Amino acid sequence: MEKSTSSRERKTAISPLRSEDYPEWYQQVIKASDLAENSPVRGCMVIKPWGYAIWENIQRVLDKRFKETGHVNAYFPLLIPLSFMEKEAEHVEGFAKECAVVTHHRLQADSQGKLRPSGQLEEPYVIRPTSETIIGHSYSKWIQSYRDLPVLINQWANVMRWEMRTRLFLRTSEFLWQEGHTAHATQEEAWEETLRMLDVYRDFAKDWLAVPTVAGRKTPDERFPGAVETLTFEAMMQDRKALQFGTSHFLGQNFAKAFDIQFLDQDGERKYVWTTSWGSTTRYIGGLVMTHSDDDGLVLPPRIAPQQIVIMPILKKDSSEVLEFCERLKKELEAQNLHGEPVRVFIDKRDMTGGEKGWDHVKKGVPIRVEVGPRDIAKQSVFVGRRDQGVTDKRSLPVSEFVKTIGGTLSEMQAGLYAKAEAFLKQNLRQIDSLDEFEAFFTPKGKDEEREIFGGFALTHWNEAAIGHPLLKKLKVTPRCIPHTREEWGVGIEEKGRCLFTGKDSKVRVIFGRAY
Amino acid sequence: MEKSTSSRERKTAISPLRSEDYPEWYQQVIKASDLAENSPVRGCMVIKPWGYAIWENIQRVLDKRFKETGHVNAYFPLLIPLSFMEKEAEHVEGFAKECAVVTHHRLQADSQGKLRPSGQLEEPYVIRPTSETIIGHSYSKWIQSYRDLPVLINQWANVMRWEMRTRLFLRTSEFLWQEGHTAHATQEEAWEETLRMLDVYRDFAKDWLAVPTVAGRKTPDERFPGAVETLTFEAMMQDRKALQFGTSHFLGQNFAKAFDIQFLDQDGERKYVWTTSWGSTTRYIGGLVMTHSDDDGLVLPPRIAPQQIVIMPILKKDSSEVLEFCERLKKELEAQNLHGEPVRVFIDKRDMTGGEKGWDHVKKGVPIRVEVGPRDIAKQSVFVGRRDQGVTDKRSLPVSEFVKTIGGTLSEMQAGLYAKAEAFLKQNLRQIDSLDEFEAFFTPKGKDEEREIFGGFALTHWNEAAIGHPLLKKLKVTPRCIPHTREEWGVGIEEKGRCLFTGKDSKVRVIFGRAY
């Protein structure tokens, strides 16, 4: 690994550094790790194989959890009739400005041979920005009796929201997601579901992505269009901005009334159902990148990494012995497990220098790199690098010890990444009780503005009357959530006070932050 | 199961019978088995949970096979710029008439408050009917050197082809599919890939769906727009029509030239790559329905069934003993396996009569139904019905025997369904050597036209000059494929003869059929 040992002040793989220009660093990490790229379609990305493999892991784990909590998958149309969008007033208000509209159903060459849209549709369709309306229509036909309830359905799909300013994974016009849509006989049951799915998400972010989050209700200005309550869980990125990871909505009877979803209850009365919806997206990957990565590229928590170990054979003239050793090692490692799943290993036989190859896997965030050459085989040892340690801090380990301890090592790495992210969040979450302090907290000092790193989570008293307050607009700060519990982050939340912005009564503290 | 035993000439669950009105029977089977339904969006379907669970199994198995053959997944944009469509002449010619076109990116209320498309796009987009063009664009950037080859990528996605006459699963405007897109340094390698993926598909259809197929090349008139060769595999439905199950295309350098996908070869020369693409869709489910189902509804081959065994507890006053017994039985069955996969079992505790419940699972095609009541428990036996036997042919079996033999039973059912379908195909595949015989073969007699069951596969001599022959148009018969080998279906294929339609030389027999 010449590149890394040649000088004491080694070059990093990513330029600029996080501390120099955070947004540009993010783009460069994604490029260097080959996760995704912009496409020729405005605001849409191509998710490349390494990025998609992370998404496949996310899907696998979440899908299992959805099924364990009683849900089944189904699939509803991509297109939504315009008339459906109009049925729920807040909903259409929230999405009308970002809908891709299908107006024609064929192409025809004009007199110059240029293709033009042809075959105009009587009623245009929009590409689903979310599916409450089209699914609500189905539920109104499927649900007749209390025996048909609850309906617990999830959909894995692509959706489209025409965004003007896009950023890979964080905000793209098309993105991949899952959207759960459930219908219940009672308000209580629907509310329990809303809470349950937030927990499913949050546990997933914690246990698999190693991302700590704050969770709670959204303030009215931040609710999903058409929801009675929106629950959210939000992570803090390394620039101290908040990233909304996913949301779970209690929709009350709003969509049930808009789409006439009624059932005959046990008491013989016809009633509207109570519905929920909950979604999370490829944005997880952006959050993963921004939580753990460093100036050498992507850092992947082992549990979500497509591959956990790369074996790099040092190939000279006669390589058959080295390759056989690597194949055996791969099998032995795959017989080990991390939290009950077999360890994922691959051998990189590509024809390139060891240095280049090693750096490639550093940038891609592979948790463990193993080099194997004839001398290692002679000593029955392997040369091991960990992505959570310095690139040059590699150690020679006896093969048997390496194999035996691999599950523990990976688990330790996973826990370490979470602990580091959690410490960072705690360090940058502050209880704030004056407007001056609030303004200072969210005002960049010195180079902060240029590198776009400042602020954090401010826990302050708040009243609904503060919505739209000029200071918030000026600082580009928004309420992220009203946290669930006072214990969670070791700070007082459910306490009486005075709203920082209006001086009115406040019953609860709210977390404010700059947000993606 | 009162409904089934109350009369000797028992009613069937599906009306009309296959033999009365085949197309309507198909719709009714899908309805009764709750697989899917039409949506309010023209030509698009809702895939309901039971249907989607079959698709999930299809995805799981195919995805594993794709990965075993060296492919990785990725994701490309849903929308394709119009200018991309124009780059390959045959391609756009083939798809222009069925493209959904996006022309606007927002909705705005007019003076009456009606929503109208607004924000017209400079260049319209089409919703992908297939992705050769947008992927070709990416490949032209990704591929620089022979070291970058082969590129072996698959995508799971939704696509849209605006169809005028749609039928659930068989032909819908939106459908779900996978599309493989590969690029190779040499023609040979690309051709091998084209053949390999056809085999992957065909083995899957045989081993998992229990569907026998004929396979071979398409005649020029039936090729994919832009392909040099299209390989296909086609099954025979119970109405003796052909269903194209999937295709694998050798694209030569057509798309490489249209999208300028070049690489620097080892010999220092810049060359165009050779590409392939291959796809299969939710149509598999339609083919599954039409191959195995009967007048009582869906019949699912066990390996692809979402659930292989339903346990139906007979619930009286105190049901705890029965439920405990069922839970134990479920665990014991799940410890068994079918071809290496754990057996899939669920308990149906719904509050409805045993008869209703049993018929529900018959219609849904669950392979094994097990009834458990207090009397069965006393005898340590279970009452078992198999979907491949008469609905009333149920047997009492000792629990231990039932559990021990379940893997074998399911395997036998799977093989039995394949054998039956294969016998049907062979029986209706005929070597035909005169035009009169050909016409008679494809002309309905008596009630055949009304019930839409007639014809089969005709193996006849053929020459390219026969494309568009009036008799073929009149009979609505098309060449389905030029089979690969002479051995496969026990009939002579690669032999010299005279084209039935033109009298010109023929080197090979072609399979003709009426097709979906």
ipTM of the complex: 0.96
A329 within 8 A of A381, measured Cβ to Cβ: no
pLDDT computed for residue B6 by the predictor? 41
Confidence band for A316, pLDDT divided at 50, 70 and 90 = confident
Q: CA geometry: angle at B334 spanning B328 and B340, to 5°?
A: 160
Predicted confidence (pLDDT) at residue B25 exceeds the cutoff of 70: yes
User: Hey, is A131 helix, strand or coil?
Assistant: coil
For residue B105, the chain A residues in CB contact (below 8 A) are 98-101, 162
Name the helix (H) or strand (E) containing B74: none
Contact assignment for B101 to A106 by CB distance below 8 Å: yes
Q: Nearest Cβ partner of B49 from A73, A99, A137?
A: A73
Nearest-by-CA chain A residue for B75: A47
pLDDT digits (tens, 9 = 90+) for B1-24: 334 444 445 689 999 999 999 999
Q: Nearest Cβ partner of A162 from B39, B51, B105?
A: B105
For residue A103, the chain B residues in CB contact (below 8 A) are 101-104, 117
pLDDT computed for residue A80 by the predictor? 97
Q: Nearest Cβ partner of A41 from B55, B79, B97?
A: B79
A and B: number of Cβ contacts within 8 A? 183
Predicted confidence (pLDDT) at residue A1 exceeds the cutoff of 80: no
Q: Nearest Cβ partner of B117 from A56, A101, A153?
A: A101
Confidence band for B57, pLDDT divided at 50, 70 and 90 = very high
Structure tokens at B74: 């990725």
pLDDT computed for residue A2 by the predictor? 39
pLDDT computed for residue B5 by the predictor? 41
Q: Nearest Cβ partner of A158 from B78, B115, B124?
A: B78
Q: Nearest Cβ partner of B48 from A74, A99, A101?
A: A74
Name the residue with higher pLDDT: A138 or B509.
A138
State the amino acid at position B88 in one-letter form. E
Structure tokens at A331: 């099998």
pLDDT computed for residue A98 by the predictor? 95
Q: Nearest Cβ partner of A49 from B44, B72, B105?
A: B72
Contact assignment for B107 to A99 by CB distance below 8 Å: yes
For residue B153, the chain A residues in CB contact (below 8 A) are 49
Q: How many CB atoms lie within 10 A of CB B383?
A: 19
Nearest-by-CA chain B residue for A71: B49
pLDDT computed for residue A11 by the predictor? 83
Contact assignment for B73 to A138 by CB distance below 8 Å: no
Name the residue with higher pLDDT: A86 or B346.
B346
Mean per-residue pLDDT over chain B, rounded: 94
- The minimum CA-CA distance between B104 and chain A, rounded to whole Å, is 5
Closest CA to A285 of A358, A224, A211, A346: A211
What percent of chain B shows pLDDT beyond 90?
Answer: 89
Contact assignment for A147 to B350 by CB distance below 8 Å: yes
For residue A119, the chain B residues in CB contact (below 8 A) are 162
Strand partners, A175: A159
B287 within 8 A of B208, measured Cβ to Cβ: no
Q: What are phi and psi of A498, to 5 degrees?
A: -120, 135
pLDDT computed for residue A494 by the predictor? 65
Compute the average pLDDT of residues A435-442.
Answer: 98
For residue B73, the chain A residues in CB contact (below 8 A) are 49, 52-53, 56
Contact assignment for B52 to A41 by CB distance below 8 Å: no
For residue B158, the chain A residues in CB contact (below 8 A) are 78, 157-158
Structure tokens at A437: 């302090």
- The minimum CA-CA distance between B30 and chain A, rounded to whole Å, is 15
For residue A117, the chain B residues in CB contact (below 8 A) are 101, 103, 124
- The minimum CA-CA distance between B123 and chain A, rounded to whole Å, is 10
Q: How many CB atoms lie within 10 A of CB B392?
A: 11
For residue B104, the chain A residues in CB contact (below 8 A) are 100-101, 103, 124
pLDDT computed for residue A492 by the predictor? 46
Q: Nearest Cβ partner of B77 from A39, A85, A153?
A: A39
Compute the average pLDDT of residues A471-476.
Answer: 97
pTM of the entire predicted model:
0.96
- Return the residue in A46, A93, A347 with the most chain B beta carbons within 10 A, the one to mutate for interface testing: A46
Name the helix (H) or strand (E) containing A100: none
Residue A299 CB contacts under 8 Å (≥ 6 apart), including other chains:
A292, A293, A365, A387, A388, A417
Q: Is A460 exposed, middle or buried (0-12, 13-18, 19+ CB in 10 A)?
A: buried
Q: Which residues of B223-233 are buried (b: 16+ CB within 10 A; e: fewer)?
A: bbbbbbbbbbb
Residue B436 CB contacts under 8 Å (≥ 6 apart), including other chains:
none
User: Out of B7-11, B52-56, B354-358, which region has the weakest mean confidence (pLDDT)?
Assistant: B7-11
For residue B77, the chain A residues in CB contact (below 8 A) are 39, 41, 44-46, 174
Contact assignment for B75 to A47 by CB distance below 8 Å: yes
Contact assignment for A106 to B105 by CB distance below 8 Å: no
Q: What are phi and psi of A322, to 5 degrees?
A: -65, -45
Closest CA to B212 of B481, B422, B58, B388: B422
- The minimum CA-CA distance between B352 and chain A, rounded to whole Å, is 10
Contact assignment for B104 to A107 by CB distance below 8 Å: no
Q: Which domains does chain B have, with CATH numbers?
A: 34-80+132-292 (3.30.930.10), 309-423 (3.40.50.800), 431-513 (3.30.110.30)
Q: Nearest Cβ partner of B106 from A74, A97, A119?
A: A97
- The minimum CA-CA distance between B161 and chain A, rounded to whole Å, is 9
* Strands B309-313, B368-372: pairing kind: parallel
Q: Nearest Cβ partner of B126 from A46, A81, A107?
A: A107
Compute the average pLDDT of residues B207-213.
Answer: 97
Closest CA to B142 of B259, B63, B279, B227: B259
Contact assignment for A98 to B104 by CB distance below 8 Å: no
Q: Is B491 exposed, middle or buried (0-12, 13-18, 19+ CB in 10 A)?
A: middle
Residue A279 CB contacts under 8 Å (≥ 6 apart), including other chains:
A130, A177, A178, A179, A180, A246, A247
pLDDT computed for residue B484 by the predictor? 76
User: Out of B8-12, B134-138, B409-413, which region has the weakest mean confidence (pLDDT)?
Assistant: B8-12
Cα separations (Å) of B464 from A156, B284, B442, B506? Answer: 45, 30, 21, 9
B514 within 8 A of B442, measured Cβ to Cβ: yes
For residue A48, the chain B residues in CB contact (below 8 A) are 74
Contact assignment for B77 to A105 by CB distance below 8 Å: no
Name the helix (H) or strand (E) containing B107: strand B101-109
Contact assignment for A56 to B73 by CB distance below 8 Å: yes
Name the helix (H) or strand (E) containing A231: strand A229-236
Contact assignment for A79 to B56 by CB distance below 8 Å: no
Contact assignment for A74 to B47 by CB distance below 8 Å: yes
pLDDT digits (tens, 9 = 90+) for B226-237: 999 999 999 999
pLDDT digits (tens, 9 = 90+) for B314-326: 987 778 899 999 9
Contact assignment for A41 to B80 by CB distance below 8 Å: yes
pLDDT computed for residue A5 by the predictor? 41
Confidence band for A10, pLDDT divided at 50, 70 and 90 = low
- Return the residue in B44, B46, B66, B174 with the most chain A beta carbons within 10 A, the one to mutate for interface testing: B46
Mean per-residue pLDDT over chain A, rounded: 94
Calculate helix-pair angle for B283-292, B399-427, nearest 10 degrees.
Answer: 100
Contact assignment for B98 to A77 by CB distance below 8 Å: no
For residue B52, the chain A residues in CB contact (below 8 A) are 72-75
- Return the residue in B44, B75, B108, B141 with the most chain A beta carbons within 10 A, the one to mutate for interface testing: B75
E runs forming strands in A303-380 = 309-313, 337-338, 341-342, 345-347, 368-372
Residue B164 CB contacts under 8 Å (≥ 6 apart), including other chains:
B43
Contact assignment for B96 to A107 by CB distance below 8 Å: yes
- The minimum CA-CA distance between B41 and chain A, rounded to whole Å, is 7
pLDDT computed for residue B495 by the predictor? 78
Distance from C-alpha of A475 to C-alpha of A515, rounded to nearest angstrom:
11
For residue B86, the chain A residues in CB contact (below 8 A) are 115
